[in-house]
Amino acid sequence: MIDKEKFYTILSQGKMDEIKKLTQVALESGESAETILKEGLIPAMDRVGDKFKTCEIFIPEVLIAARAMHAAMAILKPILSKSTSTLAAKIVIGTVKGDLHDIGKNLVIMMLEGGGFEVVDLGVDIPVAKFIEAIKQHQPQVVGMSALLTTTMREMKNTIQALEGAGLRKQVKAIIGGAPVTEKFAKEIGADGYAPDAASAVDLVKSLVSK
Ligand code: B1M
């Protein structure tokens, strides 16, 4: 059983060694990497976000929690990225311009790699031109965009429009995700798909590349 409270306490205090140990112990006691994420780490990070929203904590505290989250994710990465199948598809992915959030994107990448896909990670704060350049260079079947801020979501629309302008729209499927993003928004901006979480992103990519 995942001790949610313990995950929250340690993550919110940014205790890197302790969160790594807690993650390791949970794995050794038979919890799956997915369960540790879904029931331990992600709810803990959500609580950090709620406290930030109500001004009970501030950016430095969110940063140390994010750093601890990355440390725990590094332990889960080899498990989540371990592929049992190889699908001939490549995905270029990045967090859009103006947005520095990368925890969710990195999780999506781990799960996609675990699903057998080749992933090119562009990083964070990626302007439209860099997405276009990467699509021309890597020729992926899918381009993925992540945004965590309502103010940066419009960059997804800009990127899709730029893909059309560059004559690349027909050769690549565009998928989007991130906390403020919705299915409705994806339809509005002409994306090919939206996924609410990392596991659904894998299913979405599978369905798009098999079409
Ligand atoms: Co920021 N932040 N932050 N932050 N931060 C949020 C997003 C916020 C909701 C907090 C709040 O107010 N409650 C709020 C946004 C409000 C809004 O726009 N509506 C906010 C704000 C305001 C800000 C700043 C503007 C604060 C400031 O400076 N005043 C600032 C902006 C900086 C910038 O980007 N330019 C800022 C900064 C930061 C930190 C740098 C301190 C840090 C980021 C560190 C990092 O990522 N390396 C940070 C963090 C950590 C958060 C919260 C607390 C946690 C985000 C997270 O990692 N969640 C967040 C509150 C929250 O979300 N509860 C918050 C865990 C992660 C696993 O979930 O990213 O949703 P998520 O990813 C999921 C799905 O969304 C989906 O799959 C993932 C896994 O299941 N998904 C995809 C994500 N991308 C996908 C792509 C796909 C498919 C699925 O296909 C391509």
Has residue 84 got a pLDDT over 80?
no
- Let me know whether 95 and 192 are in one domain: yes
Whether 119 is covered by a domain: the verdict is yes
**Average pLDDT estimate for 131-160:** 98
pLDDT at 114 over 90: no
**Arithmetic mean of pLDDT, 172-181:** 98
Beta pairing partners, 177: 146
> What is the distance between the alpha carbons of residues 30 and 51, in angstroms, rounded to a whole number?
31
pTM of the model: 0.93
Write out the two tokens for 211: 């079409």
With vertex at residue 104, the alpha carbon angle to CA 3 and CA 206, rounded to the nearest 5 degrees, is 110
Residue 105 structural domain: 90-209
pLDDT reported for residue 168: 97
Q: How far apart are the first and last CA of the chain?
A: 39
List pLDDT tens digits, range 20-43. Answer: 999 999 999 999 999 999 999 999
For residue 99, what is the domain's CATH number? 3.40.50.280
- Asked if residue 85 belongs to a domain, the reply is no
Task: For residues 4-13, give the mean pLDDT.
Answer: 97
For residues 101 and 59, membership in a common domain is answered with: no
Q: Name residues contacting ligand 1 (CB within 6 A).
A: 42, 45-46, 48-49, 52-53, 59, 62-63, 66, 93, 98-105, 107-108, 144-146, 148-151, 175-180, 195, 197-198, 201
Regarding whether 97 and 70 lie in a shared domain, the answer is no
Complete DSSP assignment for 7-51:
HHHHHHTT-HHHHHHHHHHHHHTT--HHHIIIIIIHHHHHHHHHH
Total domains present in the chain: 2
Same-domain status, 70 and 107: no
